[in-house]
Amino acid sequence: MDIHTLCEEINLQPEIKSRVLAFSKDFDFTTVAKQLKDFRNYKKMSEALTELQELLGEDTDNIKILSCMLKASADVYDLYQSKGISDEIYFATMKC
């Protein structure tokens, strides 16, 4: 799953989608890979969010953090699939 497909499937507003995709195109997500992976562990979520915010720096419009959250969500698509969770449920969950 990629961010573009996820944005389409969850019907992200066009203006926000274009800003997320522009940020994502130029951002090296490997710099925050640990934090995005830590979102999969409930006990590490709070710490991961704090670390991510520090790494991203100023984010007055929250596009950086939204892009990272969407990347983390896209990254778990295969995990949902491996557990037999349907696309309908996955995308409905991500819309929330």
Q: Where are the domains of the chain?
A: 3-95
Structure tokens at 51: 């670390």
| pLDDT tens digits for range 45-89 | 999 999 999 999 999 999 999 999 999 999 999 999 999 999 999
| Statement: residue 37 has pLDDT above 90 | yes
The per-residue pLDDT of the chain, averaged, comes to 96
pTM listed for this prediction:
0.92
Query: Quick one: what percent of the chain has pLDDT higher than 90?
Result: 99
Burial label for 84, CB within 10 Å (0-12, 13-18, 19+), is: exposed
Round to whole Å and give the CA distance between 3 and 20: 9
